[in-house]
């Protein structure tokens, strides 16, 4: 039996390779759901499990890496004059211009703010690695300057190489010249494992939905994007120096076949395929709200007295069964981008891929930090060797000998702070309902613990939490200072007679905790 199984696998591999060479099959899937329909479950499952990573380039060697690096020697050094601008990237979920769909008749422009920006500032079509899904892969390309297609079929580097390994990224490059990097995302921190991956990409803070107040959901169950703009401004206010902030929206996420009930949809969409009228109406009205948020964000930035660059782009087309020949640009992998600024950058329209964007933006403002950055800035994108050279650099870092980095891993994992500002406990005192906790940063995902045990209670507002449990000081445990606990390797949550605030998501994953507040340092001690 075993020889027959082995022979079956060998035969399957041979037939599969022949089918790939004849282009009957593909080993690159822009949308995994479509691929399973087109090629079947066994092939797609085998491809996604076994086809991961980057294959070693034929010419991979230290000499080849040195040759590639020499092409970067003509770039000027990063400018040192004046205060550097804040750099903001906002990744817009399933966002694109629906007027590009040939058969749609839309009652009013759903994206007037974005369209006005495209006319006045640098913009163009934007090549992304997926259709209808795959947010994290567009995100990977934007943040690292690397090409997802060089990895395995349907591979998410967030789930493979970046789980346990650091990488060059815009965050790590900008940190060399004093930038602080933040992420703002109105969805769960653990989605795509971002709370772990962002440590390896060099982020300093990560504000997910668990650290936000005022969250409201749309009929599809996704958090509205109106919370994004104020949270972005908060990141800029959190430091005195230059900031890089990466925002990720979710409001216009699919699927779009939802019961909207009394939900207002003022824009009317005609011409949609039969049976998909509701989906198109819902989608177009959702991106109109996203566009409204963009207008609000621009106004907030205009009112600040800081040089700022804001880059807006769609992560992929929506999952609305659109065909390439139904689009005016005839490309399912194109969304659009725009680069807004408040200090007079020259408008220069250019189509590009997601992995080219951040190096292009940095070049416009005179920043040339990082190996991958310099490669994109110096190499002709239309040359025959551009993509092969990029793949060689990617392989060298993740799977090779790191020749380009002197054989060393120069990027350290960051001590990622959850929330732009950490949750803080300041005092506890009695009230008629039990105990009132005063602090900072409380949300609906905040819970209070005492002596390691969770207390019943609820958030009143961002600065006050009501405890309804009874709390008793443990005389036997007594008092242990934080310094004593540290010297004796006592974990914060095991310090006796101490309060802690923990942020825990809907799946019961602990995301962060406050510093302990000892009983002796609260109003309770004075009673």
pLDDT score for 427: 98
Strand partners, 334: 127
Lowest mean pLDDT, pick from 5-9, 275-279, 283-287, 464-468: 5-9
- Buried-state track 429-451, b at ≥16 Cβ within 10 A, e below 16: eeeeebbbbbbebbbebbbbbbb
Whether the predicted pLDDT of 466 surpasses 90: yes
Cβ–Cβ < 8 Å for 121, 340: yes
Asked if pLDDT for residue 164 goes beyond 60, the answer is yes
Instruction: Tally the C-alpha atoms within 13 A of residue 243's C-alpha that lie toward its C-beta.
Output: 23
Please name the residue that has the structure tokens 């993509």.
Answer: 387
Spatial separation of the C-alpha atoms in residues 280 and 272, rounded to whole Å: 7
Query: Is 80 exceeded by the pLDDT of residue 139?
Result: yes
Sequence-separated contacts (24+) of 108-111 with Cβ below 8 Å: 108/267, 110/267, 110/284, 110/285, 110/287, 110/288, 110/291, 111/287, 111/288, 111/291
pLDDT band at 32 (very low <50, low <70, confident <90, very high): low
| pLDDT tops 80 at residue 208 | yes
Alpha-carbon gap, residue 213 to 341, rounded angstroms: 29
What are the structure tokens assigned to 227, written together?
Answer: 């919370």
In the three-class reduction of DSSP (H, G, I as helix; E, B as strand; rest coil), residue 99 is classed as helix
Band (pLDDT 50/70/90 cuts) for residue 259 is confident
Lookup: tokens for 358: 């951040």
Per-residue pLDDT, 462 = 98
The average pLDDT across 125-141 equals 96
- As a whole number of angstroms, the distance between CA 90 and CA 294 comes to 9
User: CB neighbours of 365 closer than 8 A, spacing ≥ 6?
Assistant: 84, 85, 87, 309, 345
For residue 478, give both structure tokens. Answer: 């007594």
- Strand pairing report for 180-185 and 105-106: unpaired
pLDDT for res 263? 82
pTM listed for this prediction: 0.90
CA distances from 462 to 113, 440, 443, 472, 508 (A): 32, 6, 6, 25, 21
Tens of pLDDT, residues 499-514: 999 999 999 999 999 9
DSSP secondary structure of 364-410: HTT---SHHHHHHHHS-TTSTTHHHHHHHHHHHHHTS--GGGTTS--
What pLDDT does residue 28 have?
46
* C-alpha distances out from residue 430 to 80, 363, 500, Å: 55, 58, 17
Residues 6 or more apart whose Cβ sits within 8 Å of residue 193: 158, 159, 163
Q: Is the pLDDT of residue 75 over 70?
A: no
Q: How far apart are CA 82 and CA 177, in angstroms?
A: 13
What is the average pLDDT across 212-230? 97
Question: Does residue 41 surpass a pLDDT of 50?
Answer: no
Q: Does the pLDDT value for residue 45 go beyond 60?
A: no
Q: Are the CB atoms for 516 and 481 separated by under 8 Å?
A: no
Cis peptide before 178 (omega within 30 of 0): no
Contacts of 374 (CB under 8 A, 6+ apart): 72, 75, 359, 368
Q: How confident is the model at residue 6 (pLDDT cuts 50, 70, 90)?
A: low
Instruction: State the pLDDT confidence band at 1, using cuts at 50, 70 and 90.
Output: low
* pLDDT at site 40: 46
Contacts of 338 (CB under 8 A, 6+ apart): 114, 117, 118, 121, 122, 123, 311, 312, 313
Q: To which residue do tokens 């007027």 refer?
A: 99
Which residue bears the tokens 């947010």? Answer: 135
What pLDDT score was predicted for residue 8?
55
By C-alpha distance, which of 225, 246, 240 is closest to 310?
Answer: 246
Query: Picking from 6-10, 224-228, 272-276, which range would have the lowest pLDDT averaged per residue?
Result: 6-10
Report the length, in residues, of the chain: 527
Residue with tokens 């609000």: 296
User: Which of 48-57, 95-104, 186-195, 445-454 shows the lowest mean pLDDT across its residues?
Assistant: 48-57
Beta bridge partners of 327: 101
Question: 175 falls in which pLDDT band (50, 70, 90)?
Answer: very high
DSSP-assigned letters across all residues of 30-87: S-HHHHHHHH-HHHHHHHHHH--S-PPPTT-SHHHHHHHHHTTTTSPPPP-SSPPPEE
Condensed to tens digits (0 to 9), the pLDDT of residues 363-418 reads 999 999 999 999 999 999 999 999 999 999 999 999 999 999 999 998 999 999 99
CB of 46 within 8 A of CB of 153?
Answer: no
Residue 526: its pLDDT value, please?
85
Task: Give the integer Cα–Cα distance in Å for 336 and 327.
Answer: 13
């Amino acid at each position: 039996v075993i020889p027959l199984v082995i022979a079956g696998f060998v035969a399957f591999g041979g037939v599969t390779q022949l089918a790939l060479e004849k282009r009957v099959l593909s080993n690159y899937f822009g949308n995994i759901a479509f691929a399973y329909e087109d090629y079947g479950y066994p092939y797609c499952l085998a491809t996604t499990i076994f086809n991961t990573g980057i294959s070693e380039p034929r010419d991979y060697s230290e000499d080849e890496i040195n040759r590639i690096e020499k092409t970067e020697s003509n770039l000027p050094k990063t400018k040192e004059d004046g205060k550097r601008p804040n750099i903001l990237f906002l990744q817009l979920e399933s966002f694109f211009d629906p007027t590009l769909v040939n058969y749609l008749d839309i009652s009013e422009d759903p994206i007037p703010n974005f369209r006005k920006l495209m006319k006045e500032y640098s913009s163009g079509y934007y090549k992304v690695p997926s259709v209808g899904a795959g947010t994290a892969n567009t995100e990977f390309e934007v943040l690292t300057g690397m090409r997802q297609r060089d990895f395995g079929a349907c591979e998410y580097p967030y789930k493979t190489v970046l789980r346990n390994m650091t990488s060059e990224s815009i965050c790590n490059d900008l940190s060399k010249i004093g930038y602080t990097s933040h992420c703002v995302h109105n969805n769960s921190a653990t989605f795509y494992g971002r709370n772990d991956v962002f440590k390896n990409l060099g982020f300093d803070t990560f504000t997910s939905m668990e650290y936000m107040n005022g969250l409201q959901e749309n009929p599809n169950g996704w958090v509205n994007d109106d919370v994004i703009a104020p949270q972005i401004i908060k990141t800029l206010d959190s430091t005195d120096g230059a900031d890089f902030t990466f925002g990720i929206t979710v409001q216009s996420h699919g699927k779009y076949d939802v019961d909207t009930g009394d939900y207002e949809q003022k824009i009317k969409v005609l011409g949609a395929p039969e049976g998909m009228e509701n989906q198109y109406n819902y989608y177009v009205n959702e991106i109109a709200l996203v566009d409204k948020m963009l207008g609000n964000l621009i106004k907030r930035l205009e009112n600040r007295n800081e040089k700022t660059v804001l880059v807006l782009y769609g992560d992929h087309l929506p999952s609305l069964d659109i065909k390439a020949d139904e689009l005016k640009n005839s490309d399912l992998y194109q969304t659009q981008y725009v680069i807004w600024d408040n200090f007079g950058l020259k408008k220069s329209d250019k189509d590009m891929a997601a992995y080219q964007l951040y190096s292009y933006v940095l070049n416009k403002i005179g920043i040339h930090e990082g190996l991958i950055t310099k490669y994109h800035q110096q190499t002709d994108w239309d040359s025959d060797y551009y993509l092969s050279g990029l793949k060689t650099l990617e392989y060298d870092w993740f799977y090779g000998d790191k020749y380009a980095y002197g054989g060393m891993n120069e990027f350290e994992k960051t001590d990622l702070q959850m929330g732009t500002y950490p949750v803080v406990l300041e005092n506890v005192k009695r009230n008629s309902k039990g105990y009132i906790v005063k602090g900072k940063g409380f949300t609906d995902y905040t819970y209070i613990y005492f002596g390691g045990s969770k207390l019943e209670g609820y958030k009143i507002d961002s600065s006050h939490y009501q405890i309804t449990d009874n709390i008793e000081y443990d005389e036997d445990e007594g008092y242990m200072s934080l310094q004593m606990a540290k010297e004796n390797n006592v974990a914060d949550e095991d310090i006796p007679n101490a309060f802690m605030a923990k942020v825990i998501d809907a799946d019961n994953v602990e995301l962060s905790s406050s510093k302990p507040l000892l009983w002796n340092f609260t109003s309770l001690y004075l009673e």
